[in-house]
Copies of this chain bind each other. A is one copy, B any other.
Amino acid sequence: MADSLRAEIAKLGGAVKTLKKEGKAGSDECKDSILKLGELRAALQELLKEEGDSDSHLDVPDKDILNNLLTRRMFVVPSFAIYNGVAGLYDFGPPACALKANFLNRWRQHFVLEENMLEIESTNLTPYAVLKTSGHVDKFSDLMMKDTGDGTCYRADKLLEEVIDNLLKDEMLPEKTREEYRHIRAQADAYTCEEIGDLLKNRFKVKAPATGNELSDPFPFNLMFGTQIGPSGNLQGYLRPETAQGIFVNFPKLLTYNGGQMPFACAQIGTGFRNEIAPRGGLLRVREFCMAEIEHFVHPEKKEHPRFPAVADDVLPLFPKSNQIGDGKVQQLSVGEAVKAGTINNETLGYFIARVARFLESVGILKTHLRFRQHLDTEMAHYASDCWDAEIYTSYGWVECVGIADRACFDLEQHAKATNTLMTANENFKTPVKMDFGVASFNKKAMGMAFKKAAKQLYKDIDEALQNVEFARDLEAKLEADGKAAFKSCNGEFELTRAMLSIKISSKNVSTRKYTPSVVEPSFGVGRILYAIFEHSYYARGDKRQVMRFKPAIAPVKCAVCPLTNGDAKLNAVVDDIARALRRRNVSFKVDSTGASIGKRYSRMDEIGR
């Protein structure tokens, strides 16, 4: 349809040109054609707008007007403004600070207390070894390009998005090209270093936007803030990029604290840091932010949830991967049905998705502006079973605010391997269960000659590994087929040969067994949700007065005390009485006894929320 409009515009445009050439610029025919041309162009624009953002009918405030209010009433201000600020750092002023405290109290109530979770607080400073194991040292990076002239740094995927946005501004671009560009834009952050370099430098011939200089090839820039712990310069540390690792490394102690009982969850509220290359997007992309994370540890084969029936009927706006590839539509589906159909991988994951939805609504996120988007297979980490993002619609479009992932047993296994620590829970059987396992017969002479002192520990490690019957079968098969096989334990890698051992499968009755728990992780970006709350709570009244309509539970100020006349001693005594009573009941309030008109004082209070 857009292409046929474009053809009409081109035709009519040509006709107008011809009329003008012929000196008929003032004729009725020419005037009519120009009028018609205007209409056609408007129709094309409207069409493109709808296609570009299918959710443009959702109501959001103008971001400049809102940001003006947020700064003016000191909800959020750029940090160190008198020193010209630092990009990506913001301070929370009094109303946002109170709002955040209330928000976190609600969060604790909704998750930690109601779900009987443990809560811990680990440090921001994190040593190299922990983040090497978690993969952040190697993989927590964005692709960067440098202006070869002045050294300005750009994020490659953002450059690509900008290039495409500029190209798409040309209304006359044929639909096919337009579609291809949109496709490229959608996966801007999924390209490899080489792919995005090729697109930017060879295909689109992009130069540094500010100077027009050549750009360097893209290269990965690690997003962690590094620092030296201690005075020797020998202990590399980072500011944590997430709070989760502080929970994982404490797993054995937490399990003991919980009396060995599984499943259980541990929560943490704390700061995360991310050294953004060129932060933009206001409060949505910052270098320091508050996170609230939950790690729910559960048996990998028992992901049912006892309280699942309580949420099974909750109907949620789901955006499964099949729909993202298919019709692009969000689907209203009950959690119960979604788990039954396998759309959501398991009950525990479904339970948390539903609980997150309830929480977000309770703090003021509009139901109409919320969806749960499933990660595509290409987006998801190789170890994860399933992952859903709670996305909230704002003036910046859909924003990922909570990630709810089934991370399987990846994290615990990695830390167990790296530190040679047991990161397992015990499963007890009421009646003993028959279980297969491998038994090795060692040729101790051959092993002793090959591995010397290490042999003794190796017997133990192999025996332990063979408890897993599949591992035992694989190892035996490999030895039989290749005559040798590598065996990796915490003490190193060893090459075993056929001559050293043979493995038989046996079975025994056991009443207990060790396993590495799976982790279901709901991870909240607190700052982003707060920003979405600002947008969803804002409205301008008919008389242009601005109101922040916060939910009472999180409103920074619950009520205002405004004496009608100013400086009246009797009335002031009443104000003091009321203030005392409110304080005693722990109700936050604000006294406004300035001489301003009551209407003016009302609207002042409206702006900081009531």
Chain A interface residues toward B at CB < 8 A: 73-74, 77, 79-83, 86-87, 89-94, 96-98, 100-101, 108-109, 113-114, 118-127, 129-130, 144, 151-153, 221, 225-232, 235, 237, 239, 246, 249-250, 252-254, 256-257, 259, 271, 273, 275-278, 287-288, 415, 418-419, 421, 583, 586, 588, 594
Known: A232-B151, A249-B80. A94 touches B123 (CB 8 A): no
**Chain B nearest Cβ from A106, distance in angstroms:** 11
Q: Which of B119, B122, B225 contacts A228 (CB 8 A)?
A: B225
B227 touches A226 (CB 8 A): yes
Contacts of A81 in B (CB 8 A): 249-250, 253
Q: Which of B98, B119, B227, B252 contacts A239 (CB 8 A)?
A: B227
Give the nearest-CB partner of A79 in chain B.
B123
Bound Cα distance A225, B127 (Å):
13
Contacts of A127 in B (CB 8 A): 80, 83, 86
Q: Which of B83, B97, B113 contacts A129 (CB 8 A)?
A: B83
Bound Cα distance A94, B77 (Å):
34
Q: Which of B93, B119, B257, B588 contacts A253 (CB 8 A)?
A: B93
Q: Which of B73, B114, B124, B126 contacts A583 (CB 8 A)?
A: B114
Give the nearest-CB partner of A232 in chain B.
B153
Bound Cα distance A80, B123 (Å):
9
Given A74-B257, A94-B254, 6 new contacts (CB under 8 A): A86-B125, A93-B118, A97-B119, A125-B288, A221-B231, A228-B275
Contacts of A89 in B (CB 8 A): 123, 125
Q: Which of B152, B225, B235 contacts A125 (CB 8 A)?
A: B225
A419 touches B83 (CB 8 A): yes
Contacts of A419 in B (CB 8 A): 82-83
Bound Cα distance A79, B89 (Å):
27
Contacts of A119 in B (CB 8 A): 94, 97-98
Bound Cα distance A298, B577 (Å):
26
**Chain B nearest Cβ from A150, distance in angstroms:** 10
Contacts of A86 in B (CB 8 A): 125, 127, 229, 235, 237
Q: Which of B101, B118, B124 contacts A124 (CB 8 A)?
A: B124
Q: How many copies does the complex hold?
A: 2
Known: A79-B123, A288-B125. A93 touches B232 (CB 8 A): no
**Chain B nearest Cβ from A548, distance in angstroms:** 15
Bound Cα distance A77, B253 (Å):
9
Give the nearest-CB partner of A257 in chain B.
B74
Of A227, A287, A586, the most chain B CB neighbours within 10 A belong to A227
Contacts of A97 in B (CB 8 A): 119-121
Contacts of A421 in B (CB 8 A): 82
Q: Which are the 7 A-B pairs with shortest beta-carbon distances?
A: A92-B121, A91-B122, A82-B419, A153-B231, A94-B118, A82-B421, A225-B227
Known: A153-B232, A229-B86, A231-B153. A126 touches B246 (CB 8 A): no
Contacts of A92 in B (CB 8 A): 120-122
Contacts of A254 in B (CB 8 A): 74, 93-94
Bound Cα distance A232, B221 (Å):
10
Give the nearest-CB partner of A127 in chain B.
B86
Contacts of A79 in B (CB 8 A): 122-123, 246
**Chain B nearest Cβ from A359, distance in angstroms:** 16
Known: A121-B100, A123-B89. A229 touches B83 (CB 8 A): no
Bound Cα distance A98, B118 (Å):
9
Bound Cα distance A91, B120 (Å):
7
**Chain B nearest Cβ from A467, distance in angstroms:** 22
Bound Cα distance A94, B108 (Å):
13
Ordered by A's residue number, 10 sampled pairs between the chains whose C-beta atoms are within 8 Å are A80-B249, A82-B419, A83-B418, A86-B125, A93-B118, A93-B120, A93-B253, A109-B586, A125-B273, A271-B271
Contacts of A108 in B (CB 8 A): 101
A125 touches B229 (CB 8 A): no
**Chain B nearest Cβ from A597, distance in angstroms:** 15
Contacts of A101 in B (CB 8 A): 108
Bound Cα distance A235, B125 (Å):
20
Bound Cα distance A151, B230 (Å):
12
A249 touches B83 (CB 8 A): yes
Bound Cα distance A237, B227 (Å):
10
**Chain B nearest Cβ from A57, distance in angstroms:** 36
Contacts of A87 in B (CB 8 A): 230
Bound Cα distance A231, B221 (Å):
8
A271 touches B124 (CB 8 A): yes
Bound Cα distance A77, B254 (Å):
11
Bound Cα distance A1, B82 (Å):
62
Contacts of A276 in B (CB 8 A): 230
Known: A83-B130, A249-B80. A228 touches B230 (CB 8 A): no
Give the nearest-CB partner of A416 in chain B.
B82
Of A86, A254, A273, A288, the most chain B CB neighbours within 10 A belong to A86
